[in-house]
Amino acid sequence: MQEAIELIQRYYAAFNRGDWEAMLACLSEDVAHDLNQGEREVGRDAFRAFLARMDRCYGEQLRQIVVMATADGRRAAAEYVVHGNYKFDDDGLPPARGQEYVLPGGAFFDLVDGRIARVSNYYNLQDWIDQVSA
């Protein structure tokens, strides 16, 4: 259980540093990434492309991160608060004008052989749209 918690903490610490390679190193080669209200993407290359889009469009830091794991260390979950800045228009979303937002979110993980095999992210998209459209 502790190893699972430490893996997720390393993953989010890398996110907060903007260290995409360290984030990717936490993932299995065939990681399944369930986008919030979107499709499942599979593989590190797809995740790398996702990170590039996120980096271009958003500046985000996660705060108040709480990580939980099952006793066997095969499943984990995290809850956090996203503090962000909408930097560049993202497809199908409102125009970016540098809007700031604060949004609770969470994620669920499957862990295999010391790496993240699945990450499913959740947040309230309508809340985010309302904040950046105000």
Give residue-wise pLDDT tens across range 55-91. Answer: 999 999 999 999 999 999 999 999 999 999 999 999 8
pTM for this one?
0.93
Cα distance between residue 13 and residue 83, in whole Å: 15
What fold is seen in the domain 2-133?
A: Nuclear Transport Factor 2; Chain: A, (3.10.450)
Domain ranges of the chain: 2-133
Query: HSE on the CB side for 57, CA within 13 Å?
Result: 15
pLDDT at 77: 98
